[in-house]
Amino acid sequence: MQEALKMYVFKLAPQAVLPLGLGLTLLLISVLLRSRAWGLAAFVWLFVSSMSFVGESLLKPLEDTFPRLRVDDCPGADAVVVLGGILAGGRNAPERFEWGGPVDRFEEGVALWQARKAPLLIFTGGRLPWSEEAYSESSLLKVAAARRGVPPDAIVELIGAPNTEGEVSRLLELNGRIRVQRIILVTTAWHMPRAELLFRQGGFDVLPFPVDYTTHETVEPTLFGLLPAPDGLMMTHVAVREYLGLMYYKLAGVDMARQDLNRRARGLLLGE
Sequential pLDDT tens for the chain (272 residues): 455 566 556 666 678 789 999 999 999 999 999 999 999 999 999 999 999 999 999 999 999 999 999 999 999 999 999 998 888 876 777 778 888 889 999 999 999 999 999 999 999 976 555 556 667 888 889 999 999 999 999 999 987 777 888 889 889 888 778 889 999 999 999 999 999 999 999 999 999 999 999 999 999 889 889 999 999 999 999 999 999 999 988 887 755 544 444 444 444 444 44
Instruction: Sort residue 35 into left (φ over 0), alpha (ψ -120 to 50) or beta.
Output: beta
How far apart CA 201 and CA 249 sit, in angstroms, is 9
Which of 149, 37, 133, 57 is CA-nearest to residue 90? Answer: 133
CB neighbours of residue 18 within 10 Å: 17
Question: Do residues 167 and 83 touch, judged by C-beta distance below 8 A?
Answer: yes
Q: Please report the sign of the dihedral spanned by the C-alpha atoms of residue 161, residue 167, residue 172, residue 177.
A: positive
Which of 242, 241, 239 is CA-nearest to residue 56? Answer: 239
Amino acid 11: pLDDT: 66
Count the residues in the chain.
Answer: 272
Which of 113, 91, 112 is CA-nearest to residue 100? Answer: 91
Q: Between vectors from CA 137 to CA 151 and to CA 55, what angle results, nearest 5°?
A: 120
How far apart CA 130 and CA 162 sit, in angstroms, is 11
Residue 230: partners with Cβ closer than 8 Å, 6 or more residues away? 50
Amino acid 129: pLDDT: 56
Amino acid 272: pLDDT: 45
